[in-house]
A and B are shown apart, each in its own frame.
Chain A
């Protein structure tokens, strides 16, 4: 089955720790995205990548980092510099920038 997988489903982090969220797709899509969703707010873009080895900051990139070494993978690291990391994180992909976006099941991150 083609699709987008995210792991883990739930993640708990202590303050001061860096954590990495996984996102993998087998849709052969060039573009991948990371969004953050908070209660009562719309999704906000953290980072996006249009092609391997290239990525751009979104609206709320501070405290986050990404890499795009393979077409299929776009991991997101939440660093200790992110002051309020507790949220639901969603990964998406599209054939290219501007194409229909398809989303993974999400990772819920909680800071203890």
Chain B
């Protein structure tokens, strides 16, 4: 079964820093990978979806990369802001399978 790991579990950075969140997965035969944001007590907001044939996706200050051969994805956040504080979840889908989620990285951006 696909296992998804996110490192670090928690991260605190000062406002304005660029940062990288990491996601690794054990089965490289994936269909797609999705990054989500979750605020406390709320649902998930989809940030970026990377299909297995793609290497990266960008949306505003966010850039997600995918390296299937090494089983890794990174989410890069440029010029972080206090409003970026949230938990970021990585989810991997194998063909014919449901999404497999990591436990998330809790991000705090301090003013």
| Residue positions of A touching B, CB distance < 8 A | 4, 6, 33, 40-45, 48, 58-59, 88, 90, 92, 97-98, 100-106, 108
Chain B's closest residue to A56 (CB) is B98
CB-CB < 8 A to A100: which residues of B? 32, 34, 46, 49
CB-CB < 8 A to B103: which residues of A? 40-42
Could you list 13 A-B pairs, sorted by A, with CB under 8 Å?
Answer: A43-B99, A43-B101, A44-B101, A45-B98, A45-B99, A48-B98, A92-B44, A97-B96, A98-B32, A98-B95, A100-B32, A103-B44, A103-B45
The winner among A44, A101, A108 for most chain B CB atoms within 10 A is A101
| Residue pair B34, A101 in contact (C-beta under 8 Å) | yes
User: How many angstroms between the C-alpha atoms of A88 and B40 in the bound complex?
Assistant: 11
User: How many angstroms between the C-alpha atoms of A48 and B97 in the bound complex?
Assistant: 11
Chain B's closest residue to A90 (CB) is B43
| Residue pair B102, A58 in contact (C-beta under 8 Å) | no
Task: Work out how many contacts link A and B, with CB atoms closer than 8 A.
Answer: 53
| Residue positions of B touching A, CB distance < 8 A | 4, 31-32, 34, 36, 41-46, 49, 89, 91, 93, 95-96, 98-104
CB-CB < 8 A to A59: which residues of B? 98
| Residue pair B93, A98 in contact (C-beta under 8 Å) | yes
Leading 8 A-B pairs by shortest Cβ distance = A42-B101, A103-B44, A103-B43, A43-B101, A105-B43, A100-B49, A45-B98, A106-B43
CB-CB < 8 A to B49: which residues of A? 100
User: How many angstroms between the C-alpha atoms of A59 and B98 in the bound complex?
Assistant: 9
User: How many angstroms between the C-alpha atoms of A43 and B95 in the bound complex?
Assistant: 19
CB-CB < 8 A to B104: which residues of A? 42
